[in-house]
Structure 1
Amino acid sequence: MSLGLEKGRSSELIGLGGEHDWQLLHTCPIGQSASIATADRNGLDATYQHASNIRTMRKVHEGILFQMTPDAVSSQHAAKNLMQEEVDIDNIEALVHPHGPALVNLYFRIIHPSFPILHKEVFIEKYNRTYREIVPHLLAAVYALAVRWWAYDADLLLEEKVDEDALVRIASQSVQTAMHHPRLNTIQAGLLLLQRGRDASSADNSWTWSFTASLIGLGQHLGLHLDCIAWAIPDWEKGLRRRLAWALFIQDSFSAMVFGRPCLISMRDWAVAPLQTCDFSENSPDEVAGRDGGGSSSIENGKLLFMELAKLSTITARVLQQLYSVQALATVTEPQQVLALGKPLGNDLADLLKNLPPNLNIENLQQGRLCLSGFFHFALQATTAVLDRRMLWAIQRSPAGVDSQFAQIFRTALRQRAYNLVQLVSQLQPEHMEAFWFFAAGSCGVILGCFLALLRVTSTTLEESDELKGLMNEFEWQLRIKVRMGKWVLYTLARLKTLGWDEWKALEPDFDAIPGDRQRLGALQSNAVDTGDPAHSLLSAKNNESSSVPLQENNSATWLTEELEDLEIPWDLGGT
């Protein structure tokens, strides 16, 4: 029997450090209503009680106990305290009728393969019987997100699009009510709501961050932070729980990165093992094809993408925790300190890219298929930029200065990064842009734009400044010609303009005011022999168009690894 999706009852993990004492629960249960129900191998309660207003305890593994609460109890409490009205699921269906089945088909064709937080077989089985078997918040969230690909259904293309905003309002209201008796579908609906594109003019960051925190709290409430592999629950629910857990981790890591917040999930309280292919419930034969034969996403590539994103999110979380925590910002200030922490992180990013499955390469396009890998490469570049800028800050602020040879190597590497990220944007094709992109895409674009601007305003030579200005222009141009392909692109452009993009491009660095160490660095760079590095030849000086220099992906993530291994200088990077 399901633990997290049981009809009529919600589950709550009994924390060992909370009000309940584990030993007392075993030796002296508080009345029959609190009796411990030990689950057998199929997840059935040995002392199963489902009568209204009777709470039971369910043991799914040694040391893992859940309190099972009938909805009647939690709903009565919520009604007394909040006077919330239940959402009528028929009202949801009325908004999309008769297009509900087509929208569900679109969802599983395009979104689900790379964001597999639903159990497709269970959802479809219930939906085919009647839409009333799907909880209102999840049904509305699925419909609302699928509307974005309305034109990918041959029949819907000729119909008037349904009211997406109305669906979102209903889903949001219903989720808030469901939080009083949460199930896994509460978190599923919440995550889907968070994936909607953000509007730069009215981005509600406070709601997005606080709602993310609420979902993470609900996940802990439901035990998603624990390893469920040996629990007495159905195998399909084990896989679903693990996928949902990592979806929350991905949401937390990238939310923290783009909002400049601390990660909410601590690795000390995270026991979920890395994802494996057996955690996914579908295979290639289960793919949903479009009726016109095109515009679908590969389930197998979607699995790979989700697993790689989970790996990337753990590195992103470590970058934020080790270099951007309140304590780290106060104590890790010198370049050598940042290097000691940053180099292993950069190496992990490089290894992740080096070992990336070939199907997730940015140039791997298939006829009639959407390419799912665009966001992964974008997020990888953003994480690398966040790592790199921490060292750049340290170099700029170091009162003693840094070794000029090291600084030259570092800035050369950063210039290569800049070319790589602009080249990445230029490589994005309609097959990438039309696929499902996670919520953080627009903000990752802002981070990359700000990284280019930071490199320019800290330039040490006029040549470097001009090259970076050209890269900023090319970055902006590549986004502008793609603005109709993705809502996140408009967010990136609008947000950068609001932050000062035009001013950063117009700003001319004052080289006369550059400190001595940076002047020496500028001289080194000006006198450097041109070795054919694409950093000196990517842009055409005549027409400011980017050339066909190939993207050097390994260089885009490795953090000075090869360069510093060959450089015979002491790890103390202070200037002499």
Structure 2
Amino acid sequence: MESGDERPYRSHTKPACNPCRRRKSRCKLEPQTAACLMCRAHGTECTFPNGQARATPQKRSSTVTAPTIPHPAVRTPIAPPQEHAVGTSAQFSGLIQGQNDQDTPLSLEADDDNPHILGPAVTGDTHILADYLSNIPGGQGIREIRPVEPGSSSSPVIFTKVQKRPLGLLVGSSPALEKLQTIEKLVEPFGPRLIDLYLNKVNPCLPLLDERSFRAQYMNARDRISPALLACLYAHMLTYWQHDPVLSRERCPDVRFVWNLAIEAACAELHASPGISTIKAILLDIGGRPTTSIIGNGVRLGSAVALCHSLGLNRNPLPWDIPPAEKHLRMKIWWSVLLHDRWLSHAYGTPPHIRRSQYDVPLPIPDYLSDWDQNSRANAVFIELMNLTDVLDCCLEHVYSIRSTQVPPRNLELELNKWIDSLTGDIRKIIIRGSNLAIPGATNLRLAYLAIRLLLRRIDLDREKRSPDSNPEQMANRVMEARRTAEDIVVLVQELGEAQLSDFWMPVVAFTFSATVTFLIRCALETERAAGLAQSGSLRMANDLLVSLRSHQKNLSWDLADICLAQHSEVIERLLSSEPPANKADETSVEPLVPDMTFLQDLFPSTWDILQIM
């Protein structure tokens, strides 16, 4: 058979090799080569329909070393696709050059262009067009990823190139880099230590970066990492500055000033050149502490979700013909977006951005976490946190449902109990007994579980009040169940030690404390006011929570205590010092809420007022 690139794809006289036929990719032979271009890229045996092998099997393990896949922030230009080539990951990643090639970029991010996923309605049309163009010499190929798993029912995923940078914006301008340089001056010479602290302490609990590749890129080609990503990473870790034995002896930079610079860098990159690294920077921003911008977090999360949809991160990449490392990194980003979307919705009281029917990325399992052997305990907690977040999604569907449907509501209590019943080992002890809290991320998981339990109790209580068949005994039982859950939260906070306070926390769990105190005040006013609020067990419980939070704030500057203390300290103090009703008439005229206690209107600030002064 002649070698050359003139052979048309699917020619009957010069058919494509068997691997290219399975991949549905362009089979191209070059002069002086025995194997086609795609088989050399994939390390497969190049055989043709007549059964004759054209090349010795080219195993990657024996001939080349698989390169370290760098972090998605890498700004390495993607190698231009070969002429007429269509439809495999070689188009995106370029060919493997050899053992020392450590700069092979992830396949779906480039300097100047972004891959924009096409809607399902036009995928079939574009698929036919891609096949036609591949048969025309000089035809323009279309980026296309097709499932390669046998029996896969997933449809082809089509990407088209779109320009990142707005028209008229100077290529050399980089406001994000200017912000990063200022931050690096503020944290030097401890920038590398902050990176180590993140990769060792936070990333195992919420995997977002590939540790090995990011370390290599940070050490050898730092200038090719997204400035916004690095800026937000430095700002994110300032919360842990005081807990590091080396950093705690040094003066910490002004956290708020650094955060403002980092947010400006992320917004600048979102405008100038949005990509996968921009999503990571936004996630570090939203997950950063302390929380001071409710509206800003919601807006930036919405931008991250929109960018995820544009880049196809909501699609299951497992059946795609792309490197496994890239599949797992895409999934990690989506898990983090999903996690923040659900919990911010629960904390802020706004509907989530992501709907369950619009993504098919599977939940994490050990096989999808590249650092499992190194961080198995923390990763196991993360896996169950994601499973618990899926339960929370069911609750949010109920809470934010505006239009009534004929579909019976899901049994939310059953969904939570099924999750608990699936737990084993140390994770089960964290949830059932509240023990084993020394595992990284365990205390955050425990509090997240109690927050969902309290939410379910409040849903049941409200449903009971609206029910025409409600009776006082059933209502009293609902209140006691909810108070018991609130008490579990109080006990958890009371038992926190320095190790737990310096551990990984989602910043939105701070709103669980405020919700708990507000609910206990409600219980006191609805059920215990007649006997005098000073004797209320619910108020004493709320006060115990505030005392513990104040201690953690004073001793270890625990920022998660700030919002609850600022909102409720004076309220609880005034309620505990209030006088009991003067006569029986007052006892019989108790309202379910508190309109007659006018001082509460002044003492209860808006839920977000405190964030304006932090």
Q: TM class by shorter-chain length? A: 0.7 to 0.9
Q: Is the 8 A contact 2:143 2:158 kept in 1?
A: no
2:232 partner letter: A
Please name the residue that 1:322 is paired with.
398
* Distance in 1 between residues matched to 2:483 and 2:256, nearest whole Å: 42
* 3-state SS of paired residue (1:105): helix
**Range moving further from structure 2, 476-485 or 158-167:** 158-167
Please name the residue that 2:559 is paired with.
487
TM-score by length of 1: 0.72
1:65 partner letter: I
Please name the residue that 1:35 is paired with.
141
For 1:183-332, what aligned pairs fall within 5 Å after superposition?
A: 183-198=275-290, 203-285=292-374, 299-327=375-403
Q: Is the 8 A contact 1:457 1:504 kept in 2?
A: no
Kindly tell me: are residues 78 and 432 of structure 1, through their superposed partners in 2, closer, same or farther at Cα, counting changes over 3 Å? farther
* Distance in 2 between residues matched to 1:130 and 1:497, nearest whole Å: 50
- CA deviation digits over 1:79-129, x for unaligned, max 9? 179x87452454443333222211111111211111111111111010111
1:170 partner letter: L
2:207 partner letter: P
Please name the residue that 1:113 is paired with.
204
* 3-state SS of paired residue (1:282): coil
1:7 positional shift? 5.1
1:427 positional shift? 2.3
* 3-state SS of paired residue (1:481): helix
2:413 is aligned with 1:346: yes
* Distance in 2 between residues matched to 1:364 and 1:483, nearest whole Å: 24
2:419 partner letter: L
* Distance in 2 between residues matched to 1:440 and 1:78, nearest whole Å: 39
1:437 partner letter: W
**Range moving further from structure 2, 352-361 or 473-482:** 352-361
* Distance in 2 between residues matched to 1:136 and 1:164, nearest whole Å: 18
1:260 positional shift? 0.9
1:462 positional shift? 4.1
Please name the residue that 1:64 is paired with.
157
TM-score by length of 2: 0.68
Kindly tell me: are residues 155 and 12 of structure 1, through their superposed partners in 2, closer, same or farther at Cα, counting changes over 3 Å? same
For 1:114-153, what aligned pairs fall within 5 Å after superposition?
A: 114-153=205-244
Please name the residue that 2:461 is paired with.
392
* Distance in 2 between residues matched to 1:318 and 1:126, nearest whole Å: 40
Q: How many residues align?
A: 466
- CA deviation digits over 1:497-521, x for unaligned, max 9? 48x5555656768641369x9xxxx
* Distance in 2 between residues matched to 1:194 and 1:433, nearest whole Å: 20
From 448, 464, 485, the equivalent of 1:379 is 448
1:249 positional shift? 1.0
1:477 positional shift? 1.6
* Distance in 2 between residues matched to 1:41 and 1:261, nearest whole Å: 37
Kindly tell me: are residues 93 and 478 of structure 1, through their superposed partners in 2, closer, same or farther at Cα, counting changes over 3 Å? closer
* Distance in 1 between residues matched to 2:243 and 2:382, nearest whole Å: 23
Q: Is the 8 A contact 1:371 1:431 kept in 2?
A: no
1:190 positional shift? 0.7
* Distance in 1 between residues matched to 2:259 and 2:140, nearest whole Å: 38
**Range moving further from structure 2, 440-449 or 151-160:** 151-160
Q: Is the 8 A contact 1:13 1:65 kept in 2?
A: yes
Q: Is the 8 A contact 1:4 1:183 kept in 2?
A: no
Once the two structures are aligned, what percentage of the paired residues are identical? 20
* Distance in 2 between residues matched to 1:309 and 1:101, nearest whole Å: 29
* Distance in 1 between residues matched to 2:495 and 2:243, nearest whole Å: 23
* Distance in 2 between residues matched to 1:393 and 1:135, nearest whole Å: 48
Please name the residue that 1:55 is paired with.
none
* 3-state SS of paired residue (1:228): coil
Please name the residue that 1:403 is paired with.
471
Please name the residue that 2:117 is paired with.
13
- CA deviation digits over 1:193-246, x for unaligned, max 9? 1122245xxx32111111111111111111111111111222112112112111
Higher relative contact order, chain-length normalized (CA < 8 Å, sep 6+): 1
1:247 partner letter: S
Please name the residue that 2:24 is paired with.
none
Q: Is the 8 A contact 1:453 1:505 kept in 2?
A: no
Q: Is the 8 A contact 1:252 1:265 kept in 2?
A: yes
2:295 partner letter: S
Kindly tell me: are residues 226 and 346 of structure 1, through their superposed partners in 2, closer, same or farther at Cα, counting changes over 3 Å? same
Q: Is the 8 A contact 2:112 2:165 kept in 1?
A: no
Please name the residue that 1:56 is paired with.
none
* Distance in 2 between residues matched to 1:421 and 1:490, nearest whole Å: 17
Task: Give the gaps of 5 or more residues in structure 2.
Answer: 1-92, 94-105, 149-153, 593-614
Q: Is the 8 A contact 1:239 1:278 kept in 2?
A: no
* 3-state SS of paired residue (2:416): helix
1:373 partner letter: A
Kindly tell me: are residues 78 and 309 of structure 1, through their superposed partners in 2, closer, same or farther at Cα, counting changes over 3 Å? farther
1:301 positional shift? 2.4
What is the aligned-residue RMSD (CA, Å)? 3.5
Structure index of larger Rg: 2
Q: Is the 8 A contact 2:109 2:276 kept in 1?
A: yes
Q: Is the 8 A contact 1:482 1:489 kept in 2?
A: yes
Return the structure number with greater helix share: 1
* Distance in 2 between residues matched to 1:76 and 1:514, nearest whole Å: 62
Q: Is the 8 A contact 2:123 2:158 kept in 1?
A: no
2:488 is aligned with 1:420: yes
